[in-house]
């Protein structure tokens, strides 16, 4: 029984020292943050463009 506990502790130590999963999670978080920034930029740009086209459309309608 003691041998099984020692083996389990050794496997746990190897698992805790493995950094591959942590690196993948960090890259995933960075990619998610970049996606949020891109979406926020597109939303704010989209609203500004809508205002520009509305102004142009109104000006053209009033000119005729």
**Residue 1 to residue 11: CA distance in whole angstroms:** 16
| H or E, element range at 52 | helix 20-63
- The predicted pLDDT at position 15 comes to 67
pTM above 0.85, yes or no: no
Least confident piece of the model among 6-15, 35-44, 45-54: 6-15
**Residue 53 to residue 10: CA distance in whole angstroms:** 66
Does the pLDDT of residue 18 top 80, yes or no? no
């Amino acid at each position: 029984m003691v041998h099984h506990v020692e083996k389990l502790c050794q496997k746990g130590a190897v698992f805790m020292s493995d950094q591959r999963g942590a690196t993948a999670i960090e890259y995933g978080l960075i990619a998610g943050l970049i996606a949020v920034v891109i979406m926020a930029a597109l939303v704010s740009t989209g609203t500004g463009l809508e205002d520009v086209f509305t102004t142009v459309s109104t000006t053209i309608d009033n000119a005729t």
